[in-house]
Structure 1
Amino acid sequence: MMDIKWVRDNVEAAREYLRNRRSDFPLDRLLELDERRRQILGEVEEIKARRNEGSKRVGEMKRRGEDASALMEDMRSLGDRVSQLEAELGSVQGELDDLMLRMPNRPHSTVPVGEDETSNPVVRTWGEPRRFDFEPRPHWEIGEILGIMDFERAVRLAESRFVVLKGLGARLERALVQYMLDLHTSNGFIEVSPPFLVSSATMTGTGQLPKFSEDLYRCANDDLWLIPTAEVPLTNLHSGEILDEDSLPLHYTAHTPCFRREAGSYGRDVKGMLRVHQFPKVELVKICRPEESYDELESLTASAESVLKGLGLPYRVVCLCTGDMGFASSKTYDIEVWLPSQGCYREISSCSNCEDFQARRMNTRYRPKEGGRPRFVHTLNGSGIAVGRCLLAIVENFQREDGSIEIPEALVPYMGGVREITPPVKR
């Protein structure tokens, strides 16, 4: 969450960044509540001082044998007033806390101002999109030809926007996971196997709650939610802790299933695996000192890019503008892979620096070596990468005219030596 003191001292800057983010956040109401909270606290403090002084006088009057009943009645009235103010404070504080949890993060000064994805500048590109001498098929058609994707049975098992991978399709998904984890752990990330169900407090810590509850799946009889990304448990590993500075930075990676309702996305990408309710992903999370976080963002993005480079998949990196970036992010790079069937780049990874936004919600700090008060850490996260989207990108980019696909060289050892997937022989 944002620092209320910064908001109070920089009202116009806060108003500007909210406008740039196209946010309708009620800043004036927040400021009104903050002012009333401070007024109440000041009045309560003043009344309590008067009560303390009055209590002393009551004691002195009683010792002298004087009648203190009038003064004692005044003290009771002050006590009633404190009770009234504390009740109001509870209401004001509750609404203020809720608004603070709903206020989006402040964009970094290097983030371009823009309305939507059309204002996202391209930072760099890698690889050349393949030129086909035939009309490239979409991945769902190839998957059906090869017998490795079954959307019809997935609908019968669950509903739309699920997929069943079979045979070498399932093997390819597993190979991708192992390849990504081996790549990231060899570069210093610690592999973690976290819970796939987490509490409301954990979801709140990284910003999924309360704002995005409609996009999440919740267990009916428990305070548990299915994770939308491993960012949630990985970043919360140190919630409520004060870390030693020498332990930073911390780099974590995990492979988990991810669950999202995709609320409001109906009508978009309804065919295939591009937008589904359950998908595997390898996630990257970093926890570091504030001074290091933007260097860490660059290296985090490079780690995600290394997956696509190793597989030979063309991609580009864009910097999200203020109107397109995520709620908790201060700066985000999207990595977009080339999809031949669509003739365009589509997002396969988002790499974000959240600065101290999540750390304040989680109360995760570190103790500086030189002494002084504990400071909030900075947290970063990125897909390293979305396994399903990587699989469909391989299917489309490495397809042949007969519907078969070539396996990228980096995955051959993970596929047990299999170098291609070909259509089944009809009997």
Structure 2
Amino acid sequence: MPITSSGLTHGDLTADWQERFNVERMREYRVERARQTMRKHGVAALLEASPNYIRYLTGTIGYPHPMVRYTLFFAEHDPILFEHDGWYHQMPDQAPWIKEWRPAQAWLVAAPGVDASRYQAKIFAAGIKSELEARGLLGEKIGINGFDGFANEALREAGITNLMTSHSLMLEARAVKGPDEIKCMKHVAAIVESMWFKVWESLKPGVTDVEIGAIASYQGLMAGADNPVTGGWRSGPLGFDRGFANTGRIIQSGDLVYGSLCGVTYQGYRTCTYRTFKVAAEPTQKEKDWYKELRDRLDAIIDEIKPGKTTADAAKHFPPASKWGYKDEMEVLASEVGHGIGLAQGGSYDYPIINRAWSFDFPQVFEEGMCLAVESREGEHRVGGVRLENMLVITKDGAEIIDHFPREEILVAPL
């Protein structure tokens, strides 16, 4: 039977009398994780333009447009942050832990045209070459991520040829969370609890799925979320299999409604969680059976998640895609899955992945400190569906559920 994690002992305010979030310790932990992983793989520097990875490596945020800011992060030297526009003038005294600042050389994703982009990319590459030469690293292995073809071409023309894609290296570094990262994950899970409660008390006949998203988002903002998303809401005959959401559909009496509150963030750390509700009626026996099958499945998976065991041990509890008449496991790729969660992963998951497509042939080992979410669904096409996803942290004794909003049964919205 899955264990629920202990409750929060503090909020997000600063205090001198209690140990709360220690952001300096969190930044230092992430830097050391990255450097240990780089040394393991013989990588001298990372040239990183992904906003989430820049934040992990430098503890900074910035303008989110692609490739307008980047970092040159070293295994043995202080990192350099190449910053965008006005941020370059605003940030140095606001982020004093970064000692080296340069103006970023950007070409706005080729908007000025091919010739201008190639011209600016050459300036960019010359600057990177100069920094590597100054540290005696020009011939060393350099990881690169988040850049376009203009950047890669210019770097090679400048003589920076020992390049490797570093996305997998960063996933490895991020896999095990430090104590302050786990605190952030538990805190954002608590924020989402308040969002689920507002959704539960607001679901009634006549409200639209778009309204429910607005209610959820507002509550997230009030509870302290960095990014209070509207979520994805599916109801009635649109509930199985999962597809488009937030259509403006009017919720009706007797509907099953499920939602995803995925992407709510606190200090950049991101949720991924689902719950299912019933509107203006008790669940039918068929719906109760769907949900019990679903919850029992997730409970069995969660019980397998312990340090030293592998994703293969957990994946055996997911049914094959053929259970629903499908021919390929890709047809349930992100529906019957466990996946790592962490610092604003956005369009990509952290390690590990649990599914039938990969876990049996390519198992990943569970480690203490990993955070992940496990999700599944049941239902009938054009009738309705139920869905549940829980957020977990792996302790020395096994996985604990950190999103505490009730999960035992379909939640009946109050009339």
**What range is the shorter-chain TM-score in?**
under 0.3
TM-score where L is the length of structure 2: 0.24
TM-score where L is the length of structure 1: 0.23
Name whichever structure is richer in helix by fraction.
1
Answer 1 or 2: higher relative contact order, Cα 8 Å, separation at least 6: 1
Larger Rg: 1
